[in-house]
A and B are shown apart, each in its own frame.
Chain A
Amino acid sequence: MELVQLLTPEGERFEHPDHPLETTPEELRGLYRDMLLTRRFDAEAVTLQRQGELGLWASLLGQEAAQIGSGRATCPDDYVFPCYREHGVAWTRGVDPLNLLGMYRGVNHGGWDPDANNFHLYTIVIGPPLLHAVGYAMGMAREGADSAVLAYFGDGASSQGDVAEAFTFATVNAAPVVFFCQNNQWAISTPTSHQTRAPIHRRSAGWGFPGIHVDGNDVLACLAVTRSALERARRGEGPTLIEAHTYRMGPHATSDEPRRYRDDSERQTWEAKDPLLRLRAHLEKHGHTDAAYFEDLAQEAEQLALRVREGVRAMPDPDPAAMFRHVYVDEHAQVSEEQREYEAFQATFVQEGPQ
């Protein structure tokens, strides 16, 4: 199956018969802004990790188009299930970047209200959230809701049994769900060729639902295919699998050393396909932007970075009592007892130690 592409790396716009997309200059500028701001706060998070402000960070560098394009295809009532690298998708859902940084700093395990933006918590364990997404979609369908679920997973995740089970439940229930695989070519040190011999997007055929292969560095193509797949889901026609062909430009996470397992030249070839550069080329070629637009945007990006930097540094360590909170909805004898013991023990220090 050919790769759906609406924008070449040089910024040339194409039409695709199956995935028509009309965009206003304002929308195009908006998509560029989304990608740039996401890239900026992501870079800030990398810096904050180096400075010891975060324990870890999983950068989305290189995957901005896949995430912004697909995320912008959602409607407010749709629901998104991310993994742990979907910072761009979070952005499109209006989730404050500071929420994402809390768990990487180690002050919480996510902590945001998933229903506030219909953006579920990040899930570190690979596989489970796809099933949650299908179940959520089944619930939507049962209630007759005119909305759909967008679930993200990686090329590595595609090997998990939970993912196969998610496909099964989605197809037999004709659940309104779109599975969006960001094939960034790597799962830590493991290349996609170690996970599968056949392209991931072809897999859905065996389950009886369509698969689409899209240029993951083309924000317009990602927007178009995800929008049509979500519409199909909302019409009650069941799931779609989208495989976005993209690249993880950075290390797996800040603790990783990619030089041990991949060649830098690979990264260089992908640099030529940079998702921001191609949209910028397109915008400039068509006179949709002027120098002031980029200057203003650069300034906005710096302001965002500053807000993220200051926000992270100001994040207090949680109150130790938080450990015992929300373990259960209702009072639980063991938790209460242990909390009392813990607090009594702590109190001995407050009395004895220097104030």
Chain B
Amino acid sequence: MRESRQVFEKMTMVGALNGALRDALDEDPKVVVQGEDIGRLGGVFRVTDGLQHRFGKDRVVDSPLAESGIVGTAIGLALRGFRPVVEIQFDGFVFPAFNQIVTQLAKMHARSLGKVRLPVVVRIPYGGGIGAIEHHSESPEAYFMHTAGLRVASPATADDAYWMLRQAIASDDPVIFLEPKRRYWDKCEVNLTTEPAPLHKARVVRPGRDLTLAAYGPSVKLCLAAAEAGAAEGRSLEVLDLRSLSPLDTDTVEWSVRRTRRMVVVHEAPVFVGAGAEIAARVQERCFYHLEAPVLRVGGFHAPYPPSRLEEEYLPGLDRVMHAVDQAFAS
């Protein structure tokens, strides 16, 4: 653990994910990757670019167009001792596989009284902000968080993307791995020798004193911008990258809120029964008397994800985050 921190070249999140898959395929012959158009094309986002060429068609598999089949056969492969990493092309196309994920993938370990392990990773590019057509911009995390047996994680940066995907592949539990597609092309330095944190640990990515902005995936960058804007107004905002949604690192959330006494949770998914609802409930259970203001949530509306020309209205933006911050201070 005490390795000297070696900084590698700047990488995009796509590059980091590609590197994680490559290294996992290299290190463990049981790792297999499957999904639609992931072979020759390298995936519609090129996350698997070059992997089929390098590892062959048996390990990097262009699947038929059937998500239930992709996840269902991944379960079978896992039963046979493989570690499948599957790609769902876009968030909105995971639902044909929902049955396999919820009734099978999530429950088999428990049903077998621990005898069966399903180390399956379901990678899903998710979230909006790329001007896409219907079903290509959604944030379905709450469905998976609500299902016991699934671990759910979402990186916000290329560095985390590399390590969290490695950790997800190493996990013996199934992991729903949500990749914030609008951050796919953002670059940051990736350290390929040292894990930044365990998979299920939240991290303070900007310390502050007056309010905690809690976010994950695509919204972390937004919250960092909000903290910057807050600083200009003389407010010290802490930004917490939750990283994992199941389990939720409630201890770190509590530790932060006890100091800052205010919290705003931000996500792209609808606020109604979203991740923020769970976080807010836990915070009031654990630190009610430390709070100066109600925990507020900023997110999508209880409406279908709108056509792309309206998505900036639907998605939480800097204005809406700052508005919530103002409200928290007004209480």
A contacts, CB < 8 Å to B: 55-56, 103-109, 124-127, 156-157, 159-162, 187-190, 194-196, 255, 260-261, 317-318, 320, 322-324, 327, 332, 334-335, 338-339, 342, 345, 348-349
Contacts and interface: CB of A to CB of B under 8 A. Distances in A.
Contact of B64 (A194, A261, A318, A338): A194
A161 B64 contact: no
A339 B37 CA distance: 39
Contact of A338 (B62, B65, B301): B301
Contact of B310 (A125, A159, A320, A339): A320
A198 B96 CA distance: 24
B62 A194 contact: yes
B306 A322 contact: yes
A318 B306 CA distance: 10
Nearest to A315: B309
Given A106-B309, A335-B302, 11 more contacts: A55-B308, A109-B304, A124-B133, A124-B136, A125-B96, A161-B69, A189-B40, A261-B40, A327-B304, A345-B319, A345-B323
Interface string B213-235: 00000000000000000000000
Contacts of B96: 125, 127, 160-162
A124 B133 CA distance: 9
A320 B307 contact: no
A334 B272 contact: yes
B323 A323 contact: no
Contacts of B136: 124
A165 to B, nearest CB: 11
Interface string B66-83: 101100000000000000
A318 B69 CA distance: 38
Contacts of B135: 124-125
A317 B310 contact: yes
A323 B270 CA distance: 13
B320 interface: yes
Given A156-B65, A159-B65, A194-B64, A327 B134 contact: no
B188 interface: no
Q: Which of A156, A162, A190, A195 has the most CB of B within 10 A?
A: A190
Given A106-B131, A260-B40, A160 B306 contact: no
Given A103-B134, A189-B40, A189-B41, A323 B303 contact: yes
A261 B36 CA distance: 13
13 contacts: A126-B65, A126-B93, A156-B64, A159-B65, A188-B36, A188-B44, A189-B40, A190-B62, A332-B302, A334-B272, A338-B271, A345-B319, A349-B319
B309 A260 contact: no
A33 B40 CA distance: 38
Interface residues of B, number: 40
B323 to A, nearest CB: 6
A106 B93 CA distance: 19
Nearest to A109: B134
Contact of A55 (B36, B62, B69, B131): B131
B132 interface: yes
**Chain B contact residues: helix, strand, loop or mixed:** loop
Contacts of B40: 189, 260-261
Given A160-B96, A327-B303, A124 B134 contact: yes
B96 to A, nearest CB: 6
A196 B36 CA distance: 14
A125 B44 CA distance: 16
Nearest to B42: A260
B215 to A, nearest CB: 19
Contacts of A107: 307, 309
B303 A195 contact: no
Contacts of B92: 124-125
A342 B315 CA distance: 12
B133 A318 contact: no
A328 B37 CA distance: 36
A105 B304 CA distance: 17
A44 to B, nearest CB: 19
B314 interface: yes
B45 to A, nearest CB: 10
Contacts of B36: 187-188, 190
A56 B308 CA distance: 11
Contacts of B44: 188, 255
Contacts of A161: 66, 68-69, 96
B313 interface: yes
Contacts of A190: 36-37, 62, 64-65
A261 B323 contact: no
Contacts of A318: 306-307, 309-310
Interface string B297-331: 00001111011111001100001100100000000
Closest CB pairs A-B (n = 3): A106-B308, A189-B41, A159-B64
A260 B323 CA distance: 46
Nearest to A260: B41
